[in-house]
Structure 1
């Protein structure tokens, strides 16, 4: 046995250095298993490339279902519906037919974009007076009160009737089979199942529907949802009316009444979705398309309009200069988001003005390049989710996003139907003077947004990033990563992200504290220190940076590029 007396001081110092170096090497080796020989070192993999079709979803089984539909002659719209139905089974922690849906479709025949708003409205029998009587200052996150009409199923049928080539029976059959026979739960979904049980496990039907012997399914465990299979079968054979005017709607109405809720059969039966025109702004030669409110998509356009006024390409991405510029642009956009974004059927929303270049120049003057802003007003005008994308051999492309809100939604699980109703109504404000104030039969402010890029009137890219209020920020970052920093489709999603939180929510239009910045681990300590010197607050968060899927088309060769990042269980695949 050796003791410290055995070695000289110089030898001990040498050994200490060796041990420290070895420890650091071990940490480094544990953090980075290998160096990539092409592309950016932070990229998780290269892009997926294929000629005939491409699918990117947040769950591999859903990707494979959609790919099968394409191989069997279905088009991109068919495959997207099949994937969404599958995700409602395998990823109920983020989506399902109890929620809403938005989509942007590039139709190869008409060579134009079409937008779909399949979000539901508030119960007609619930009025602002009820909230006053209950002395509520905010709509609760869970339970019966935040439930609005689920619009996703109507969205499927709207898409299918206009663009689809296969029957709904064919498109829902894979998810029905998996629901009856079971599927192995993936790692991230197992984690979110457990978290959601802590939130809504007390509500009727949760344990019966989403647990195995009272415990949420663990990674790799086979999970079945026979009630959802039965519900899907009724929808497949009975059409959209089976959901909105048949036994399913009656079950929902009766259950909600038993829970003290207001959503009724009549609310379900009167639901309609709307085809809408996407809106765009050009960023350095690329037309970026979003859907107008009641969603938050135009916030991404507002951020990009301000960023275009700066030499972003000349900045280092890992620098306080870039992060500060991005965050200040985001703050400006989100103040307008908090004030103006709401149901356009109840408000005259100045969309053209908000996404105009002139307004961006006006707002940019409020940014101090050396100091974080603490208080901003919205401009004054005179006048947890899944994302998937599919492309087919004919050039059709779909950008689709669907959500329960807050993971598994309200906790309201209608008797024996196999899904949770959304809690999107929580987003309403209880200030009667606010654009997004609660009213019967009104659509709430929405966070879920699909995106699309065209160039020279040709489709280029269908993409989205899941994650509540993070989405416009991440849409803008994906575009900046590709256009200003020269990243490819996969690298743009894998690159470390910036998240600014704590500014205005839809209930108000004043930001009083400047919020805080969260940076993923790829940003240096130097950047963090310099941001703090500029007055920014830095706060580490885990798992809040969204989930990205994307497909890009090379219009000369017809080749598709697909990407799905490592923050989720997702997969991009083509053939």
Structure 2
């Protein structure tokens, strides 16, 4: 048997597994499974606990997406739990009221106008109502989060670090009410960011969970919590209304997929960027089938391999800038056209083995000439019935807008509206009652012949997410790595170049191709020779070390294997070494 270089072992179970970035949250999910809940019920418990344990990454005033594998029907069900802009907010209103410069391409991440209606809580309740087991109550599911926030909890090392890195922004955004930050501060040192192992109490957040447990969505989108949100936004010049909150709805959606290397990878459709991962993998497959590259002779994380996935991802990101937006603003059959073999083959022709894309000539593709042109937590849970849920919840960048509703406290508002652009006529331009381009994406892999689940996985981290999905898919399917090995391998991340932000194209979101140069970040355990070879091809590469490796996100993977002679199934899980978490099995 070959030596496993992973610092963590794969975790196995025949009953169920919760793998996430915080052990206390994973334990809460297992507790709900033990009560008879299914993977949906346990996922909601995990998500709520992460709002307590990782407040810089997620929260009750954020958004969520999920994919759920129903073992009895072999169906992959999607839920879009993202919110919309205020009904009276538009690009024109922003300009007329002096909220943005008429030449601005984006909203500032700290702008009150970047706050859209938070969709996570409605997503939890709607998933519980439609997909839950019916064997546990919402109160039982939320009780661990209530206990952790009301009675207090020790904060883990990386979670504490994330709070520390954005404490100044929290202070600046709430400078006239500094006491609001004590819900994120250690009990023995109010007003200061916590350190590893400090004890944190957030009783106001416990009140939020109690209101949801008792009254469901009404407990959050109406009443004193909703009033506090609307009042705080109005005090800062925003125009989100009580009616905007009350009108919010989640959407159950058909997941999108592509068959690659004999396996089917599933993603959430737009307004999520899951399309990026499918386009990139589809282009890679076309290059292989046309003999431009031979996937089966490529070495994992070799310069040739990393150049291939980098360039194919860049092509996919150019397309996402045009085609990832609120689906109400897109042609009904656009996804079928984008994922067609003909279109993927055409986009594959842009790839060069020995050069990088010329950004001055690149634009999105047109699958039909008649078309009108113009930071996060991820976890996954499986249960004893064979179901699995791939779940992601976020306030976007660390602490989102960093705005705390002063009349209630305990949580920050997200800033997902900063993913809009302000370029008139573009599909992702800010408009009233519109969902923005979303970076957060859960994923799954199934057997296209049998419909059986093979993997439930994801990788948090803004625009790192589709890049992570491509890397994990190829690690698992092409290179046959275990879940833990895939998570431990060095990753790359594509970002807009910080030296070129003033050259923002003003299209799509502020992703890796929004600037004329794409920055390729790599982890410091990637071989130096590989880094040099990438640079020689023309890539602008930075090497990232230490805690800054949070850039590469924190992934979680559960593999499902049917046992010999139909003797049940086996779950095998990994948890990212870049996070505080672990995989905990049900026994």
The 3 A distance-change label for structure 1 pair 298 and 567 is: same
The 3 A distance-change label for structure 1 pair 173 and 318 is: closer
> Bigger shift: 377-386 or 290-299?
377-386
Q: Secondary structure at the match of 1:540?
A: strand
Cα distance in structure 1, aligned partners of 2:310 and 2:181: 42
Alpha-carbon deviation of 1:39?
4.1
2:390 maps to 399
> Bigger shift: 410-419 or 361-370?
410-419
1:74 maps to 37
Equivalent of 2:185, from 187, 195, 211? 211
Alpha-carbon deviation of 1:355?
1.9
Unaligned 5+ runs, structure 1: 1-36
Query: How many residues in Structure 1 have an aligned counterpart in Structure 2?
Result: 538
Alpha-carbon deviation of 1:266?
0.8
2:296 maps to 313
Equivalent of 1:163, from 124, 131, 135? 131
Within a 5 Å distance, the mapping from 1:7-18 to structure 2 comes to none
- Which whole-Å deviations, capped at 9, do the CAs of 1:531-562 have from their partners, x for residues lacking one? 22211221123321111011111123411111
Within a 5 Å distance, the mapping from 1:130-169 to structure 2 comes to 130-133=93-96, 134=98, 135-136=100-101, 137=104, 138-164=106-132, 165=134, 166-169=136-139
Equivalent of 1:371, from 324, 340, 355? 355
1:427 maps to 419
Q: TM-score, normalised by structure 1?
A: 0.91
Cα distance in structure 1, aligned partners of 2:120 and 2:514: 33
Within a 5 Å distance, the mapping from 1:106-117 to structure 2 comes to 106-117=69-80
Q: Secondary structure at the match of 1:535?
A: coil
Cα distance in structure 1, aligned partners of 2:466 and 2:346: 20
Cα distance in structure 1, aligned partners of 2:409 and 2:142: 16
Cα distance in structure 2, aligned partners of 1:336 and 1:522: 31
Cα distance in structure 2, aligned partners of 1:65 and 1:238: 22
**Alpha-carbon contact 1:252-1:264 (below 8 Å) kept:** no
The 3 A distance-change label for structure 1 pair 451 and 224 is: same
- Which whole-Å deviations, capped at 9, do the CAs of 1:191-217 have from their partners, x for residues lacking one? 111112122222335423322421012
Q: Secondary structure at the match of 1:174?
A: helix
Cα distance in structure 2, aligned partners of 1:319 and 1:239: 50
Does 1:536 pair with 2:539? yes
**Alpha-carbon contact 1:297-1:472 (below 8 Å) kept:** yes
Alpha-carbon deviation of 1:245?
2.1
**Alpha-carbon contact 2:506-2:514 (below 8 Å) kept:** no
Within a 5 Å distance, the mapping from 1:499-538 to structure 2 comes to 499-502=493-496, 507-508=506-507, 513-538=516-541
Alpha-carbon deviation of 1:427?
0.9
Alpha-carbon deviation of 1:127?
2.1
2:229 maps to 252
Cα distance in structure 2, aligned partners of 1:299 and 1:158: 27
Does 1:358 pair with 2:347? no
1:177 maps to 147
Does 1:197 pair with 2:167? yes
1:443 maps to 435
Cα distance in structure 1, aligned partners of 2:159 and 2:172: 20
Q: Secondary structure at the match of 1:178?
A: helix
2:268 maps to 291
Cα distance in structure 1, aligned partners of 2:576 and 2:7: 7
Q: Secondary structure at the match of 1:145?
A: helix
Alpha-carbon deviation of 1:511?
6.2
Measured on the aligned residues, the alpha-carbon RMSD in Å equals 1.7
**Structure 1 segments (4+ residues) deviating >3 Å:** 37-40, 503-506, 509-514
- Which whole-Å deviations, capped at 9, do the CAs of 1:247-299 have from their partners, x for residues lacking one? 21122112211121111111100000100000100111100000110010011
Within a 5 Å distance, the mapping from 1:51-90 to structure 2 comes to 51-90=14-53
Cα distance in structure 2, aligned partners of 1:68 and 1:39: 34
Within a 5 Å distance, the mapping from 1:439-518 to structure 2 comes to 439-455=431-447, 456-502=450-496, 507-508=506-507, 513-518=516-521
Cα distance in structure 2, aligned partners of 1:239 and 1:474: 34
1:9 maps to none
Cα distance in structure 2, aligned partners of 1:209 and 1:463: 31
Does 1:573 pair with 2:536? no
- Which whole-Å deviations, capped at 9, do the CAs of 1:295-322 have from their partners, x for residues lacking one? 1001101111111232222112232211
**Alpha-carbon contact 1:374-1:512 (below 8 Å) kept:** no
Q: Secondary structure at the match of 2:486?
A: helix
Equivalent of 1:279, from 256, 261, 266? 256
Q: Secondary structure at the match of 1:559?
A: strand
Q: TM-score, normalised by structure 2?
A: 0.89
1:26 maps to none
Cα distance in structure 1, aligned partners of 2:505 and 2:517: 16
Cα distance in structure 2, aligned partners of 1:79 and 1:387: 14
Cα distance in structure 2, aligned partners of 1:505 and 1:271: 32
Within a 5 Å distance, the mapping from 1:220-239 to structure 2 comes to 220-239=197-216
Does 1:388 pair with 2:379? yes
The 3 A distance-change label for structure 1 pair 513 and 258 is: closer
**Alpha-carbon contact 1:372-1:514 (below 8 Å) kept:** no
